[in-house]
Structure 1
């Protein structure tokens, strides 16, 4: 009975009109006769990270056995505190496109670049005497001119056929290594996506400019954030209570959930196939025939994390950097001596 109660304390209840058991109670003295004090061995036993999917831009993994405050700390650090490279200064030599200089500079600033930030130092923007060096500034060039295509077939209407360089893409940005940057970045520095549209030109129009990229963090400007999205949700738990749900009722029960959450077996009985696909819409709680037949919950210490990188760095590296930053914050906090 005690074990059942402890399991229930780790669950958030989902009712048709409210959410229950939302307060964290894992501290000493909250429940008589139960010790919920933090224990390292217990934490190490329960803590798990399970990677569900991972590629160059997206990752989904389960973070199990931590408090919501820790999970949210990782999320906030990934969004706002991991340094990346972005355009900060744009020196325009010629811009005869229809896009104003300031709008063009803004568009360039939002282009993410693939570059290891560990090789660069912080640019001292507040120091008027500070001179940019190869240690803190990356130089990029963009020079594109639109001309008519003399070989365009008669009757053609597509600008890409009629003109050369009718569209300016991020692939036209060229890295100009300074000092030792060719050693630090042997593969060069380039936009994470070569197909980002910057501007459209017509014959006679030209864009020629130089960009200076520096390190920054998302809390200063969103262009420095390494993630497009970084989010988490609690693991859904669906319990079918009482006798099996069969027949037409099973089909209706299945349709109350997103595809793949509930399936019907060979006996015609509904069963939970994959609860993690559930969006907890509570649609099933609207139907009187399922009252007291299903219990919806969420596990409060099981977080399903989703990271979508802008391409500046792989999603697994983003998470590892967030762990390092949180560790550094804890070390700084521990160094303070309280009177």
Structure 2
């Protein structure tokens, strides 16, 4: 019998901002543990300290600092390099901040003509491998008129100048370090057919049974002589939820 602490994982769908996988040969406690780890235990970079030098917008300094902290940051150097590149501030030997435990960002924008939307693209990073995640996917980039995550809007003549420091952390410490927005799991049903009853069906009745399921959970041959269950499909459930 498979050990519940050594489950099998099969990735069913993987995109830039989404993953769906099947977890098998385990129990719900392991599935929930994985979900909780994804939310609160995976180290990520997030803006932690903000120094606002000039802010003549209608937004308060505290509100701007909160917005900056919630902007996702991306490391383009690969997972292994990320693990070697950064350490937690508490584990670093520096006195305050250094390239091993932090990344500096700067922003200086003035609205010369009309209303100006200040977005995450205006943040300048001290590390070329680290940049704000302006869009969750290429599809979103192509379907939007904005150029990144909006931080504030400046009226004519208003200015915003600040510096920020991003550090390594986990979601358990603060939500800004959580790498996921939503992490959920659901049970896959075990579907069995009563073969004794099914053997009494005519091909027409089997065809009606096959076509009755909107998720196409049944498989059959061309003549509808055999009907059997295939892999459970949840695509329609996810689409309905959206």
Match for residue 65 of structure 2? 105
Match for residue 56 of structure 1? 16
Matched, 1:190 2:131: yes
1:118 to partner: Cα distance: 3.9
2:48 counterpart (83, 88, 91): 88
Contact 2:215–2:236 (CA under 8 A) maintained in structure 1: no
The change in CA–CA distance for 1:109 and 1:268 in structure 2 (over 3 A counts) is same
The change in CA–CA distance for 1:141 and 1:260 in structure 2 (over 3 A counts) is farther
1:136 to partner: Cα distance: 1.4
1:276 to partner: Cα distance: 2.8
Q: Deviations over 1:23-64 (max 9, x none)?
A: xxxxxxxxxxxxxxxx6xx549x9533221223222222222
The change in CA–CA distance for 1:238 and 1:278 in structure 2 (over 3 A counts) is farther
Match for residue 209 of structure 1? 162
Structure 2 unaligned spans of 5+: 76-81, 136-147, 238-242
Match for residue 145 of structure 1? 110
Aligned equivalents of 1:146, 1:234: Cα separation in 2 = 52
Match for residue 175 of structure 1? 125
Give aligned pairs, total.
209
Q: How does 1:116-265 map to 2 (within 5 A)?
A: 116=82, 118-124=84-90, 130-148=95-113, 163=114, 166-177=116-127, 187-193=128-134, 195-241=148-194, 242-243=197-198, 244=201, 246=205, 250=209, 253-254=212-213, 259-261=215-217
1:106 to partner: Cα distance: 0.5
Aligned equivalents of 1:76, 1:227: Cα separation in 2 = 11
Aligned equivalents of 1:198, 1:264: Cα separation in 2 = 55
| Larger Rg computed on CA atoms | 1
1:234 is paired with a residue whose SS is coil
The change in CA–CA distance for 1:266 and 1:68 in structure 2 (over 3 A counts) is same
With the length of structure 1 as denominator, give the TM-score of the two structures: 0.53
